[in-house]
Chain A
């Protein structure tokens, strides 16, 4: 069903066509500018998190990538094909933030329909595998209208995986899921990465993004205001030392300076009971990057 795992050299090679390549992308809705020249690449097998406040342009970017929205300027390509073209749509799977399946349809019928539309010849084997993957095998004959929101969300994820897409665009995929469901999605994303599937994950859940994403792009006001690996975005927050006189904090100290710091304190007659290197969280990095922007500011 899915493509075989890509060799590591292929994943890392800069010559491989990006699964998603966005350059100088602009989008205006009337007088409102949603995207101001966004640049972003997602390589095969890479899991990129898209963060930003409401109205930052995240969903617009994802919708342009899957051809639902036409860009006002710039370029977007999916696996080398212009976004929105038949070739581009053949290469991607998409889960919208707000989606519904017809209430009268059964889970397996939904997947069968998408198999036909995607030109997948996976048949019943693929449907069974996908339903098993999202833990809906027992509900394969259940109507959508009889499913909980979380079950529908999982069915949506299975639908996005029909046909073995090379790029997966997920817009808030865990918004309706409980902690067990979220963990299942995280594990699924990791499996997809191993198989060379590129994922663009649009989510408000910073902890989730931090856990699974290789890179993060933070959008605010239609611009990428920060991008990089989560470890690059977080920064040093100093060192805490527990002494007989209490916890002392050295805000400018780094991990490399800890031995010297401890030596100086011991030399000064302090008794050391513990040392902790502090780093900022992705949440703090995110808040720094968006600078307290108002929701919906463009």
Chain B
């Protein structure tokens, strides 16, 4: 296990000292700037949305705040996916092809320790990143609307869990695929999860049970999506009535309650992905 800790420390230093990390930070600051600007503008016009309209029990500020936070979560999951992919896409086959892996693997640490170290480092970097950006977007929305999410911690933890699932998938892909192919496959999986969320929204809107089942199955098969949906749900857990219904159909995917079952499934999923990665890595000639 000490080998895994050494590798994790090495991978953490690599994460923050590669130029790509600076690029991600700059893009994130640009995103947060634009998000703050857009949020301020949206809340300037919230009154125009409600005045003179018969909208019954609609909580306009709550709806707009939830929608903006939903947008923030969607962007955070996307950015975390980009970061996770860049940190892990070439961790095994890519690094072996470049000659970076061999000097490490001949040392007396197991290949499984090396994988666990890489996972721990990438998942930690993504977790800190997600926590920072989620905290910033929540503060921005609170600043503009005076509202907090119904559950502050839940959505952030769900996003952190989702990013860990993506790291595990990208690491698994890095054992069997070249860096480029792995990047493409991981983004396709992210896209598949996104489509599942949109399908679920459509299914909820038109009341299609079978479409909903398909979307739910995909979300469970790609638990980062199920966790994201659970995070969206936690944002507005206490919203009811017309506002709650509108939020359910929000533009950034459907929201569904998570729970301990989903958390355990996501944990098992990550463990299974890492176990398959370790199995494949142990049999790979370098």
Contacts and interface: CB of A to CB of B under 8 A. Distances in A.
B104 interface: yes
Contacts of A89: 106-108
A63 B100 contact: no
A26 interface: no
B17 interface: yes
A266 interface: no
B19 to A, nearest CB: 8
Contacts of A67: 105-106
A122 to B, nearest CB: 15
Size category of the binding interface on chain A: 20 to 34
A113 B3 CA distance: 11
A159 B286 contact: no
A68 B3 contact: no
Nearest to A94: B106
A68 B99 contact: no
B22 to A, nearest CB: 11
Interface residues of B, number: 23
B10 to A, nearest CB: 6
A118 B108 contact: yes
A86 B108 contact: yes
Contact of A114 (B17, B102, B107): B107
A66 interface: yes
A92 B110 CA distance: 15
A104 B106 contact: no
A99 B106 contact: no
A117 interface: yes
A94 B18 CA distance: 26
B14 A113 contact: no
21 contacts: A66-B106, A68-B106, A68-B285, A69-B285, A69-B286, A70-B283, A86-B110, A87-B108, A92-B106, A94-B102, A94-B103, A94-B106, A96-B102, A99-B100, A100-B100, A101-B100, A113-B6, A113-B10, A117-B108, A119-B108, A156-B103
Interface of B: 3, 6-7, 10, 13-14, 17-18, 98-100, 102-110, 283, 285-286
Given A66-B106, A68-B105, A101-B100, 17 more contacts: A29-B285, A69-B285, A92-B106, A94-B102, A96-B102, A96-B103, A98-B99, A99-B102, A101-B103, A102-B100, A104-B17, A117-B3, A117-B7, A117-B107, A118-B107, A118-B108, A119-B108
